[in-house]
Chain A
Amino acid sequence: MTLVKHVLARIGFYVLVAVVGSFFALPLLWLFTAPFHGQATLSVQIPTQPTLANFAAVFRNTFAVRALLQNSVIQAGGAMILTTLVASLAAYALARVRLPGRDVLVYILILFSSVVTGTAAMVPIFLLIYNLGLIDTHLGVILVFTGGLLPTAIFIMRDFVAGLPRSLEESAMVAGAGSWQILRQIVLPQVRPGMMVIAVWAFVNVWGGFLIPFILLRSPDKMPASAATYSFYTESGTPVITLISAYALLYVIPALALYLFVNWRYGFKFFGGIKS
């Protein structure tokens, strides 16, 4: 009886996993078949004669290639580093300093960020960056993205810091270590998995963002890959499927690689330990 129940439970488990797994996997199939198809359509067809011709054509579009391999990397990488550092510092301070109302504060910031990252704030952001002399610079893009990403990054990061046992810091303090020293030598090494989560999250957000670059950048040689996808549209604004699928695949690879690396090295997960 229990054996039957056990077997049924196992079967149920695998069926459920298969269904949910298909839901997440199937939409991605096309992305991995179409680019290798000479006459790609919207259907998933296993190419009988796989070809790299679509990729060759994509690589002839120097604008798009530079956007992907250079500009997106600089902008997403820059915002990733900046967001992670600034958010870690702030999260540590918020977790360790007595400041009434700080928790509400973070929520309010998240609210702000949702208003501001919307399109209505395009003009003030442009004017700000213009007056800072940062129009058409990678730095301008990096700063604006960082500003928008910070509240959520702090929010996620705070839990990692708050989850640390205080005893280590206390002993370090007793031993006479300064705040910077404690931060660098004790806190940051311990919250590295959290920093990695933030880093991946910040990276992919910038990697995929396309409104801000159009507002802030001018030179084609600084546009990121998200903007370059439009260059595979025809004059009438319709995508060329063969090229766009190949470019889309190239475009997801760095985000994929970064995630796989971080997941393998640090484990991509949130902090869940409830500390006292």
Chain B
Amino acid sequence: MYRRWMAVALALVLTLAMAGSVFAQSVTIIARAVEGGVNSHIVTWIHESVFPAFQEKMRQQGREVELRFIQFGGSDEALKQQYALDLSVGAGADIMAFDGFWVPEFVEAGYLKPLDEVAGPGVWNWEGWAHIPEGLRGLLGFDGKVFGLGLGTDVRKLYYRADLFEQAGIPVPWEPKSWEDVLETARILKQRFPGSTPLQINAGTSMGEATTMQGYFMVLLGTGIHMYDFEQGKWIVEHPGILDALNLYKRIYVDEGLGDRRMQLLAQGREQSFAAFRDGRIMILAEGDWFWRSVVAPGSEWEPAGGRNAVVRWAPFPAKEPGAGYGGTDFVSISGGTGYVLNPFSKNPDLAWELLSFMFSTEMMLKLQELQPGIRIRDDVPVITDPVMSAMAEKLLPVSTVRPQLPAYPRISVEAQLMTERVITGEMTPEEAMKAYAEAVVELVGEENVIRVK
């Protein structure tokens, strides 16, 4: 009896082993998107627009291709780790959804190759290049080379609750000209709505890259500097601007209690901050586009009563003082971008490129816009359905900057988050926190790659 049992177990185990099989002349796409779950619109887009249209196109050329979309259901970190493991052994999907700031680390490890190396110089004949502004080609680039195509980009700003502003007697539209304006408004709101923590600028490691992008960078750029000096090719680790930025955090979260540091520290803090914005406990919030198009979108969980379009407004994030922003601007923004890269180990690189460039054709991009409007990389794909989005893009893209596309960036970004955390928890003074940051960055990139400005 037990022998039979074991035989059944073995048979089961063997059948399972056979389950994985390989298709020929096929292209596979992977993205963090799940039908009915996270990024569901990408699944719809690929399955209902991209694949049928591409199949049709291929059929007209008399070619039969097999297309597969792998819906990845895990976290971004888990996806990144899968990519790294797969590419280290020359495996993986042919087209991979990628966050722009992951690219350099992968390139350095030899896990990614430029588009023209993967699919041949023919890639430069694509019609799309003419519609992609020079500055956005490098969205998935490193060291002057291009590894993939960006779906689009975004900008960052302050969102505010127009309804509550009016109740507090603050004129709408609100146009803060300096940090002091923002703080002053927050003070008025706090007084008018006791118990509220009106202002949130992300801090802390718990929010991850959201702290760096929506928080630290926005503040730092407002002091006129960047994390990285692009001319000298060095990281700025000590600078009065950094201290100014940290002191702003200190004023908001420690000295004046204008913000709730609880949300910066807890694991689900970001979610709580959305709820607080919905419920009116937070009235000014620094966030990116997707806050508008997804978080508070009509019908979503976090849409304030009264409706997004009626009560949520946006204002550019001001520099410390007018003209003090990075590059002499009055207000600041930073942009990121996600997109798709080609797997250098693809068995059908030409077909993969054909599909990738097809995904980024005007027609397909317009289809995506219908599902969820965003700022797309192509200049012939406007944000048709949402005037607010187009206004943001128009106003902020010209002043917006990008993260340093360097392999060390993701780690240094974490150190910057840690620096803000140390200040808002009171563990360190801004001076101590900056010193600890400098030490950590030096350990990561070496003394020769940093600059200190007293």
Tell me the smallest distance from the CB of A131 to a CB of chain B, in Å: 9
- Cβ of B37 and Cβ of A231 under 8 Å apart? yes
- Cβ of B34 and Cβ of A82 under 8 Å apart? no
Contacting A137 at CB < 8 Å: which of B16, B37, B295?
B16
Tell me the smallest distance from the CB of A151 to a CB of chain B, in Å: 21
Among the listed stretches A4-12, A30-38, A60-68, A252-260, which one makes contact with chain B, having 4 or more residues with CB under 8 Å of it? A60-68
User: A220-B71, A220-B72 in contact; A62/B36 too (CB < 8 A)?
Assistant: yes
- Cβ of A137 and Cβ of B2 under 8 Å apart? no
- Cβ of A139 and Cβ of B36 under 8 Å apart? no
A220 to B76, CA, bound (A): 15
- Cβ of A63 and Cβ of B70 under 8 Å apart? no
Which 3 pairs of residues, A with B, have the shortest CB-CB distance?
A: A231-B37, A238-B271, A231-B34
Chain B residue at smallest Cβ distance from A57:
B36
- Cβ of B36 and Cβ of A230 under 8 Å apart? no
Tell me the smallest distance from the CB of A224 to a CB of chain B, in Å: 10
- Cβ of A61 and Cβ of B82 under 8 Å apart? no
Q: Check: A130 CB closer than 8 A to any chain B CB.
A: yes
Residues 1-41 of B, flagged 1 when their CB comes within 8 A of A and 0 if not, give 11100100100110011011000000000100011111100
- Cβ of A130 and Cβ of B19 under 8 Å apart? no
Q: List 24 A-B contacts (CB under 8 A).
A: A62-B36, A63-B35, A63-B36, A63-B73, A64-B37, A64-B73, A78-B13, A81-B9, A85-B6, A85-B9, A122-B85, A127-B89, A134-B17, A135-B20, A138-B16, A214-B81, A220-B34, A227-B74, A234-B38, A234-B294, A234-B295, A236-B270, A237-B270, A238-B270
- Please provide the chain B residues from 60 to 76 with a CB less than 8 Å away from any CB of chain A in the complex: 70-76
User: A63-B36, A137-B19, A237-B75 in contact; A184/B2 too (CB < 8 A)?
Assistant: yes
A230 to B82, CA, bound (A): 15
Contacting A63 at CB < 8 Å: which of B37, B78, B85, B210?
B37
Q: Check: B91 CB closer than 8 A to any chain A CB.
A: yes
Tell me the smallest distance from the CB of B196 to a CB of chain A, in Å: 20
Q: Check: B191 CB closer than 8 A to any chain A CB.
A: no
Residues 207-227 of A, flagged 1 when their CB comes within 8 A of B and 0 if not, give 000000011001110110001
Number of B residues near A (Cβ < 8 Å) is 42
Chain A residue at smallest Cβ distance from B2:
A184
- Cβ of B85 and Cβ of A123 under 8 Å apart? yes
Chain B contact residues, CB within 8 Å of chain A: 1-3, 6, 9, 12-13, 16-17, 19-20, 30, 34-39, 70-76, 78, 81-82, 85-86, 89, 91, 93, 210, 268, 270-271, 274, 290, 294-295, 301
User: A127-B89, A137-B17 in contact; A60/B70 too (CB < 8 A)?
Assistant: no
List of A residues within 8 angstroms of B81 by Cβ: 122, 214-215
- Cβ of B2 and Cβ of A188 under 8 Å apart? yes
A134 to B73, CA, bound (A): 21
List of A residues within 8 angstroms of B35 by Cβ: 61-63
- Cβ of B38 and Cβ of A235 under 8 Å apart? yes
A229 to B93, CA, bound (A): 23
* 7 extra A-B contacts, CB within 8 A, seeds A63-B34, A230-B38, A238-B271: A60-B36, A138-B16, A184-B1, A232-B37, A233-B38, A235-B38, A237-B75
User: A85-B6, A137-B19, A138-B16 in contact; A238/B37 too (CB < 8 A)?
Assistant: no
- Cβ of A235 and Cβ of B39 under 8 Å apart? yes
A39 to B182, CA, bound (A): 35
Tell me the smallest distance from the CB of B342 to a CB of chain A, in Å: 18
A183 to B268, CA, bound (A): 53
Number of A residues near B (Cβ < 8 Å) is 47
- Cβ of B271 and Cβ of A228 under 8 Å apart? no
Chain A contact residues, CB within 8 Å of chain B: 57, 60-64, 67, 74, 78, 81-82, 85, 122-123, 126-127, 130, 134-139, 142, 183-184, 188, 214-215, 218-220, 222-223, 227-228, 230-240
List of A residues within 8 angstroms of B6 by Cβ: 85
Chain B residue at smallest Cβ distance from A138:
B16
A244 to B274, CA, bound (A): 18
- Cβ of B13 and Cβ of A227 under 8 Å apart? no
Chain A residue at smallest Cβ distance from B268:
A238
- Cβ of A231 and Cβ of B73 under 8 Å apart? yes
List of A residues within 8 angstroms of B34 by Cβ: 61, 63-64, 220, 231
List of A residues within 8 angstroms of B290 by Cβ: 235-236
Contacting A74 at CB < 8 Å: which of B3, B16, B91, B295?
B16
A215 to B82, CA, bound (A): 6
List of A residues within 8 angstroms of B85 by Cβ: 122-123, 126, 215
A129 to B268, CA, bound (A): 35
List of B residues within 8 angstroms of A232 by Cβ: 37
A215 to B74, CA, bound (A): 11
List of A residues within 8 angstroms of B39 by Cβ: 235
Contacting B70 at CB < 8 Å: which of A127, A220, A227, A230?
A220
A233 to B78, CA, bound (A): 14
Chain B residue at smallest Cβ distance from A125:
B85
Tell me the smallest distance from the CB of B295 to a CB of chain A, in Å: 7
List of B residues within 8 angstroms of A234 by Cβ: 38, 294-295, 301
Chain A residue at smallest Cβ distance from B18:
A137
A82 to B36, CA, bound (A): 35
User: A62-B36, A214-B81, A238-B270 in contact; A230/B16 too (CB < 8 A)?
Assistant: no
List of A residues within 8 angstroms of B13 by Cβ: 78, 82, 139, 142
A248 to B74, CA, bound (A): 16
A232 to B74, CA, bound (A): 10
A176 to B163, CA, bound (A): 91
List of A residues within 8 angstroms of B76 by Cβ: 237
List of B residues within 8 angstroms of A227 by Cβ: 73-74
A184 to B3, CA, bound (A): 8
Tell me the smallest distance from the CB of A60 to a CB of chain B, in Å: 5
Tell me the smallest distance from the CB of A89 to a CB of chain B, in Å: 10
A238 to B38, CA, bound (A): 10
A208 to B329, CA, bound (A): 52
User: A63-B37, A81-B9, A126-B85 in contact; A236/B271 too (CB < 8 A)?
Assistant: yes
List of B residues within 8 angstroms of A123 by Cβ: 85
List of B residues within 8 angstroms of A231 by Cβ: 34, 36-38, 73
